[in-house]
Amino acid sequence: MRPRRIKNQDEIINESSYIIEVSDKYKGKLHELFGNNNPIHLEIGVGKGDFIIGMAKKYPNINFIGIEVQDSVIVRAVKKLNQEELTNVKLMNVDAKKLNDIVDHEIEVLYLNFSDPWPKKRHAKRRLTSEEFLKIYDNIFIKDAHIIQKTDNIGLFAYSIEELVKHGYIFNKVSLDLANEDIDNVLTEYEQKFMKKGERINYLDAVKFKDK
């Protein structure tokens, strides 16, 4: 669902130092955005930003880039970030379909948190773990591909496992109840809502080795 527009939304987004303009300017040199050579992790669909902000605070030696397609959503993450002084996080208001125009073999880990499930078969290509997207991701990773997914939606979870296997991924971890695992976890907004309702969270950590 598209949230209502915030007053001055465009100014808030365009004037934030946390926002990177959508262009190929930093393609292959994303490190320049951070001024160091620390590893770069990417989140697709940052929503209101709780996860990426929590991760950036917890792991100051990792750089985080978050992308979000909806401007009325990313503006909420920008507003939260503007309250912080974090040097290791940047956001981009763009669709993941365009990732290959922006990123070139630079990412160590990709996070897909509570991605839209697109339950209808005719919309399957829009799922962020469809073959179309997995092919895009092949060109973003610095070496081995590494995807971490969390979702409440068991249909999307089963689909993701199937697609990842077809695409050559193997699993470090698969869990149907993240809260009962000994896994370092930063909560997202959706995750907080589902956990309050007592729902279980599905989790996978998948890798595809480059030399295979």
Q: Catalytic residue positions?
A: 116
Closest CA to 189 of 85, 66, 90, 21: 66
According to CB under 6 A, which one of 34, 39, 54, 70 is a site residue for ligand SAM? 70
Question: What is the spatial order of strands in the sheet that 107-113 belongs to?
Answer: 89-92, 63-67, 40-44, 107-113, 145-151, 202-208, 170-175
Instruction: Quote the least distance from Cβ 3 to ligand SAM, whole Å.
Output: 9
Within residues 186-205, the interface with ligand SAM by CB under 6 A covers: 188-191
Of 114 and 169, CB closest to ligand SAM: 114
> Among all residues, whose Cβ is closest to ligand SAM?
45
* Cβ within 8 Å of residue 9, ≥6 positions away: 71, 72, 75
Q: How far apart are CA 145 and CA 162, in angstroms?
A: 16
Among 6, 22, 33, 69, binds ligand SAM (CB under 6 A): 69
> Which 93-132 positions form the footprint of ligand SAM (CB under 6 A)?
95-97, 113-116
Nearest to 115 by CA among 147, 153, 146: 153
Q: Which of residues 148-187 bind ligand SAM (CB under 6 A)?
A: none
Q: Identify which of residues 106 and 191 has a Cβ nearer to ligand SAM in the complex.
A: 191
Task: Give least dist CB 142 to ligand SAM, A.
Answer: 21
Residue (of 182, 199, 181) closest to 190 by Cα position: 199
Q: Which stretch binds ligand SAM (CB under 6 A): 40-48, 136-144, 177-185, 194-202?
A: 40-48
